[in-house]
Amino acid sequence: MARPVRIANFSGAMGDRFSAFEEAVQGDPVDVVIGDSMAEITMSMVVAGFHDNPEGRRRFFSEFFLRQLRPQLPAIAEKGIKVVTNAGIYNPAGLAEAIRTEIAALGLPLKVAYVTGDDLTDAAKDLIADGQLKNMDTGATLDVDPAELLAVNAYLGGWGIKTALDEGADIVVTGRVADASLVTGPAAWWHGWQRTDLDRIAGATAAAHIIECGPQATGGNFAGFTGIDDNTLPGFPIAEVAGDGSFVITKRAGDGGAVTVDTVTAQLMYEVQGPRYLNPDVTWHTDSIELAQDGPDRVRVTGARGSAASETTKAGVNFQRGYRGAVWLFPTGLDIDAKIDVLKAQAERARQDNPVDELRFFVCGQPVPDPKDQWQATVAVQVAVAAAEQKTVSGFLNQLNSYGLGSIPGFYVDITQIYAATGQPRIDYWPGLVRQADLHHQVHLPDGRVLDIAPPPELTHFTGQPETPSSTTDPASFGPTETVPFGRIVYARTGDKGANANLGVWSRNEAAWPWLAAFLTADRLRELLGCPDDVVIERYEQPNLHGISFVLRGYFPPSGSANLALDQIGKSLGEFLRARHVDVPTALLS
């Protein structure tokens, strides 16, 4: 059996730390470096720049990645490192050609392949007529004129990447592929896996889910960051994937951060929709894996199980839903509540003349008594609006700003916004479904050949997440309690998937898991978060991780990219939960 393949991540989204690519190539020995450029909200931001120029979008790829790659090409050739990235975004052929030009200029023997088949924008009208692109969460039919769709991209599996590597490619460029494909493709190539090796592919999918967001696996965005000595710039993770699908998560020895069971658990609890993780190549059973510390900065993950992939795959649909805008105001000093009441009344007055469709008012914090400087006395207030017409948004923002001289004492705004109060395109993200059998997944090889990639040989109809039994233990049975911040006993990590918030909560020690399972019901979570009644809360226990995955359906209406919330994709929702005070058994606190 071949040794484990060492796969290093260098990017979790376009614009991630520029130096990470050089660190991955020049650092500890690795076989493959992978980078994700296509975070969902990032793509909505990119599309926003092309809302009035759809053809311009088709030419777009990540120049950022090209700048990272260019100086490292000689080292990649010398060390025999493979590079796999979805930095092709909407134009993988264009990025591949740009890389080939750089390689030719340096006289290097590197070969570049690219993957297509994800772009369904031109086919959207026919797909909708065929009953496809229905919302994967609600089943609703997409009711947008296909001519107004800005981008439609299917999530492809990893077999196109595997095939490109099988055919000798050194650099593989893709557009939209499933996040896990950047790892499953190289792992399947290295070990010669077949498409029926579902447990092995599931293991690689788990490894990919852990490392896809870069330093989030090594202490970034980790609730226990104060326990990590070097937490300023956590290093990027490495997955050592073995032939049986088990793997070790580690990092470069000289980098910051740490790899522990909890930092890895944080990623395993992040942005999952329940015990079944859907991927175009496999359905990974997230409740099957087990974690163990395997030495300093090494966590071993075993036991992954997989079953047949779904007959459908996700398709990200982007379209414009009017315009949005916001302004920051800063009431300071005394009578804060009364000052906020005046600002709210002025916002409503501006709305009378500029009838925006949505108006949100966010008050952040409260002043410190007897403040030592001006900023301890200041509260930040964001006023956010949305409307169908740009002139309505800009009219509202300009009118609200015009009230300044007649507003609250000490009125001021973020000065940069006064001159930018025009309203920006509001891009909605629709998570649709498309049949895998209807995709034209292809690999374009350096010698000009184009190979078709068939769907997995076995597909199944996904009928929903399996229920997980809830604890029947009375939380009171754990003895006397003390009221403390919830974060004293749990960690949490949150993110978004379409219009849904994902919240993972796990106990900080194994002894607290039975109490957590009994205590944190869906109803209690709703109470602690102040969650609206129209948000459906799904609850899935993950006993092997001592945690609970919650899916809050409809928490970000209409989507993560288009809602007006201040924390637009819920990154701090878990930290808010950990700040709530709850009654915890005293014995567990000790």
Say how many C-beta atoms besides its own lie within 10 A of residue 442's C-beta.
16
**pLDDT value of position 55:** 84
Within a domain: 578: yes
Domain that holds residue 456: 5-118+156-274+440-460
Q: Rounded to whole angstroms, how far apart are CA atoms 333 and 325? A: 27
Q: Can you tell me whether residue 565 is helix, strand or coil?
A: coil
User: Could you give phi then psi for residue 243, rounded to 5 degrees?
Assistant: -65, -25
Give the three-class secondary structure for 171: strand
Residues 453 and 381 placed together within one structural domain of the fold: no
- Is the Cβ–Cβ distance between 308 and 460 less than 8 Å? yes
Q: Using an 8 Å Cβ cutoff, are 417 and 425 in contact?
A: no
Burial label for 424, CB within 10 Å (0-12, 13-18, 19+), is middle
Q: Which two tokens stand for residue 383?
A: 């006023």
Beta carbons within 10 angstroms of residue 448's beta carbon: 6
Of 450, 440, 441, 443, residue with least CA distance to 171: 443
Phi then psi for residue 568, to 5 deg, are -60, -35
pTM over 0.85? The answer is yes
What phi, psi does 266 have (nearest 5°)?
-55, -40
Q: Tell me how many domains the chain contains.
A: 3
Give the per-residue SS3 of 162-186.
Answer: HHHHHCCCCEEECCCECCCHHHHHH
Both ends of the chain: CA-CA distance in Å?
Answer: 47
- Note whether 239 and 388 are same-domain residues: no
- Whether residues 447 and 365 share a domain: the answer is no
Is residue 491 a part of any domain in this protein? yes
402 and 518 housed in the same domain: no
Are residue 451 and residue 518 in the same domain, yes or no? no
What are the structure tokens assigned to 119, written together?
């772009």
CA dihedral 566, 569, 574, 576 (to 10 degrees): 10
Give the pLDDT means over successive 10-residue stretches in the chain (590 positions). 92 95 97 94 88 87 98 98 97 98 98 98 96 95 93 98 98 97 98 98 98 97 95 97 98 96 97 94 97 98 98 96 95 97 97 97 95 96 96 95 95 76 89 97 97 97 89 92 98 92 96 97 96 95 96 94 92 97 94
Residue 40 is predicted with a pLDDT of 87
Same domain, 456 and 480: no
Q: Do 234 and 353 share a domain, yes or no?
A: no
User: Rounded to whole angstroms, how far apart are CA atoms 383 and 381?
Assistant: 7
* Contact status, residue 74 vs residue 40, Cβ threshold 8 Å: no
Residue 361 within a domain: yes
